A = this chain, B = another copy of it.
Amino acid sequence: MKCLIIAAGKGSRLCRKGNCKPLVPILGVPLLERVIRCAIQGENDDFYVVSGYQGDRVRHFLDDLARRCRVKITHIINDDWELDNGLSVLKAREYLDGPFLLLMGDHLFDPAILRDLTRRPIGEGEITLAVDSYTTNSLIDMDDVTRVQLENGKVRDIGKGLASFNGVDAGIFLCTPVLFEALERSAAIHGDTSLSGGVRCLATAGKVKALDIQGRFWLDVDDPKALEKAERVLLERLRDKPNDGPVSRYLNRPLSVRISRQLTRLAISPNQISLVSFLFSLLAAGLFAVGGYPALLAGGVLAQVASIIDGCDGEVARLKFRESDFGGWFDAVLDRYADAFLLFGLTWHAYGARADGITLLIGFLAIIGSFMLSYTADKYDSLMRGRIAGGRRLRVGRDIRVFLIFLGALFNQPFGALAVIAVLMNTETVRRVIVCRGKK
């Protein structure tokens, strides 16, 4: 389906550091790119973007983006960008002769909304508007939204000034070319050239259906406060990872998210972050092997820092739309090496203090147990997938492992840490085998 995005206005409240609004970065990604990336995640690849203010810069940026994302972006130029946004839509008329999606260049949203919207059947003379009925949604600036009056699943009235309303226009439409006629009618009869004016014409005739998105994420980014809010929400969403273990959830993730926020501003790739975390772990293992409490403590702190940074690669990848299968796998491979080196360094340290076979054996069991836990994770997780919906299970994973190493270093108990890891990791592995056997 074709996807029309209007991004012609100046958006003066967000012009800063010489960037016009569509190119203002949010966590390292320009606003308009975020909109297009979300639409791509919503399974669209044929875009028509109306540009106006600083149009040359915007179009140059879009050409580059089209190449990077391997999608088609057609430019539509609106030199009347200082006038109402309905005119931007009208400029696209000759390109769109069937159903199309209409998005605002400054509205972020959950891609699932697009998938739902495009699956809705639509009649020839109708349009469908995504409406949020959760008007208490904390993300909505009630002074600035376009209000909607709903009745029996249809939009009865729309406008900023509505006194009575039970929904909010989320700025996401599934349209047919009837919208163009409505915009012209609105201009001719009411002198109203806004998009809302056109939609109101159709609403009066009972031709605007509503898709209630019920509080799903969407956000109109039109001033610095909203931009700040957008960054906060995007960062908060990173923390909602059901696979995170307890140490990740309450210690690592809150810190890594703060680091990731800064990292998005740099030209560092997720894989480079994985490598940095790995090198920190190697250095920590080396410090363990040096011997003596100061080096042990320094190594422990460094290992925990590496574990925190290890969360940033995935976070930056999500924030900058750079997730890849290879990236996730590369990170996992480096983590296995890092774990093994940390535990070997700790064993070496403990053996230096207590040179008996038991120390070597316990160290070995800690290494093999940690490895087996990762080795069995995929199978176990896929088996358990349906069963964690109810409540969160306690996950024994890498976050706990490294935290135990850190505690062992902090309290100068390397042997104790190895013993706990050896017992915990191998017991959990055996438990998993037994559980999987029962489910075969």
Contacts and interface: CB of A to CB of B under 8 A. Distances in A.
A357 interface: yes
A326 B372 contact: no
Contact of A330 (B326, B368, B437): B437
Nearest to A339: B368
Contacts of A325: 440
A217 interface: no
Chain A: number of interface residues, binned into ranges: 20 to 34
Q: Specify the main secondary structure of chain A where it touches its partner.
A: helix
A336 B379 CA distance: 15
Interface string A338-382: 001100100010010000010011001001100110111001000
A436 interface: yes
A379 B376 CA distance: 15
B367 A329 contact: no
Nearest to A357: B348
Contacts of A332: 375
Given A324-B440, A330-B433, A433-B330, A360 B375 contact: no
A267 interface: no
A114 B219 CA distance: 57
A376 B437 contact: no
A-B complex: 7 closest residue pairs judged by Cβ atoms: A326-B440, A340-B368, A344-B364, A371-B371, A329-B379, A324-B440, A336-B375
Interface of A: 324-327, 329-330, 332-333, 336-337, 340-341, 344, 348, 351, 357, 360-361, 364, 367-368, 371-372, 374-376, 379, 429, 433, 436-437, 439-440
Given A324-B440, A326-B440, A340-B364, 18 more contacts: A326-B437, A326-B439, A327-B440, A330-B437, A333-B372, A333-B375, A333-B433, A336-B375, A337-B372, A340-B367, A340-B371, A344-B364, A344-B368, A348-B357, A360-B360, A364-B367, A367-B367, A368-B371
